[in-house]
Amino acid sequence: MSKINADCLLLIFNELQDDKKHLHSCLLVNRAWCHIVVRILWKYPWSCYYGYMKSDRRLFNTIISFLSPSSKQYLLDNGIELPLATTTNFSNPSFNYISFCRDFPEDEKISYFARMMLGKDEVKENILKEEIYKLYVIKCEDIKKLIWKSSLHLSQFPGALTCFSRLIYLDVDAKFVNSIALHEMAQLCKDIEKIIISNAAQDNSGLIELIDVQRNLKSVSILSKNMKAISEALNKALTGKANTIIEFILSPVNCIPPSIIKSLINLKKLSFHNCDEFEDFKEYSKILEFLPNLWYFHVKDIPFFKDLAKLIENSKGNIEIFSFYTGFCHNENTGLLIKAISRNCPKIKELTTYLGSEDLNYLKELLVNCNYLEKIEFFSLELDKVEYIGDEICDILAEYSPKTLHKIMLSDNWMFSINGLKRFLESWRGRRPLSFSIDYHHNREFFTYGHMEILIKYKNEGVLK
């Protein structure tokens, strides 16, 4: 029997990278398969084992076995005994597993392993964590992703240049990582494409330098509890990357002035999270007018439907995905937002928003005007009462839905009769199979065995997926 080419095997095994059970079986076929599969399994080892005590210990023992004799001795000198790491079974690993890793271990997970071995001893935990971080820095040559929530100056460890020079994803928490550490990392990393900044501070010059030196920064997320934390210097650094940034995430919205968002002329994806100051949000009502390439717009916990509608009205008509979630239970002007989308987003494909009993005419208009709709999710903000509009919604969907629509999720606060549900699904017969669900978080008792029987029947007949 002829052998399968190694490149073909790699393609096949990469398709199985989420199927750890079968990949482990492939390790045992022969040496050639083992050499390929072990690299795939160790690309992201933390996702495989984190949370399963027996496997976690085995993973941690393997990692400890790679510590240098001097590092092991240093741990012993500080009262940290790791007997499994010094036994014969772990002294000579078959592969240099850690060099295959592409994601740097998160501080939270290293802490978990350290506590599993040491119990609650913060001093010893920090000593062990630092030795493990040093091990990863010196062993890993091609780290792509770093979630940095540790006060350790990683860029000062031996091997840092080789380890981090190809970094493309950085999630940094400025609460732990100080300006000096970020300045040091800026000397190593020039090709970061996605950066997530939590707890930014006014005087973080290292962060500003880190952004300044990037050659192809595409995605920026700023997550701050302090609305005044973003300095003029950071705003200027972001403006300087206007030609490359295509994704921007803000929480809260008003931590960045609208003028900065307007300057990002090539922006394609925008996310707004949190803004409970009405006067502040009004200033952002015209920003979409300056973003002609925007096709994805996500909004969370901004309770101003009327002003969101104005925001949409000023868009350039290219939005394809719009999603809106809020925990603020105010059911005013939900229809105005749907109306704005139906009249200003002709290319929209996916929509998530809120629908009230007074908004059904706007639902009709949306379905008639937006001929590319593929997915809709409608929720109710009237969580304290049941609305008997489920059948009416289904009838509107049956009559006006575009042929492209094939995914529908509806609120559990709308009562659906069994006959109304059956009538809707019967009308869908002959169309593309529908993914249909009712989001039962509050009123599951309204979904009866009779409803379930109807869904099973139409799924068996190919009307539903």
Average pLDDT over the chain, rounded to an integer: 84
Give strand pairing partners of 436.
Answer: 408
pTM for the predicted model, two decimal places: 0.85
Give pLDDT tens digits for 376-407.
999 887 766 666 788 999 999 999 999 999 99
**Residue 88 predicted with pLDDT over 50:** no
For residue 223, list its beta bridge partners. 198, 251
Note the pLDDT of residue 346.
96
When computed from its CA atoms, the radius of gyration of the chain, rounded to whole angstroms, is 27
Phi, psi (degrees; rounded to nearest 5) at 58: -65, -40
Establish how many alpha carbons lie within 13 A of residue 112's alpha carbon, considering only the half-sphere containing its beta carbon. 15
Average pLDDT over residues 104-132: 85
Is pLDDT of 342 > 90? yes
Asked if pLDDT for residue 164 goes beyond 70, the answer is yes
Classify residue 433 by burial, with Cβ atoms within 10 Å: 0-12, 13-18, 19+: middle
The closest of 97, 111, 215, 223 to 165, measured between CA atoms, is 215
| pLDDT given at position 371 | 95
d(C-alpha 199, C-alpha 324), whole Å: 24
> Is a pLDDT exceeding 90 seen at residue 416?
no
Q: What is the mean pLDDT of residues 364-374?
A: 96
pLDDT digits (tens, 9 = 90+) for 282-306: 788 889 989 999 999 999 887 778 8
Mean pLDDT for the stretch of residues 43-55: 63
What is the structure's pLDDT at 90?
47
Looking at residues 337-365, what average pLDDT do you find? 94
Would the pLDDT of 421 be above 50? yes
Q: Which two tokens stand for residue 157?
A: 């460890």
Confidence of residue 202 (pLDDT cuts 50, 70, 90): low
Beta bridge partners of 351: 322, 376
| Whether pLDDT at 52 is above 70 | no
The pLDDT of residue 446 is: 67
Averaged over 363-386, what is the pLDDT?
88
Percent of the chain with pLDDT over 70: 85
pLDDT band at 270 (very low <50, low <70, confident <90, very high): very high
| Dihedral pair phi/psi, residue 353, rounded to 5° | -160, -165
> Mean pLDDT across the stretch 235-263?
90
424 vs 455: CA distance, rounded Å? 11
Mean pLDDT over residues 355-362, rounded? 90
pLDDT of residue 188: 94
Residue 75 scores a pLDDT above 80:
yes
Tell me the pLDDT band of 121, cut-offs 50, 70 and 90. Answer: confident
Above 90 in pLDDT, residue 217?
yes
| Predicted confidence band of residue 440 (pLDDT cuts 50, 70, 90) | low
pLDDT on residue 91: 54
How far apart are alpha carbons 184 and 203 in whole angstroms?
16
Core vs surface per residue 302-340: b (16+ CB within 10 A) or e: bbbbebbbbbbbebeebbbbbbbebeeeebebbbbbbbb
Instruction: For residue 269, give the H/E element and its range.
Output: strand 269-273
User: Which of 166, 118, 158, 117 minimizes the C-alpha distance to 136?
Assistant: 158
Residue 359 pLDDT > 70, yes or no?
yes
Mean of pLDDT values over 447-465: 91
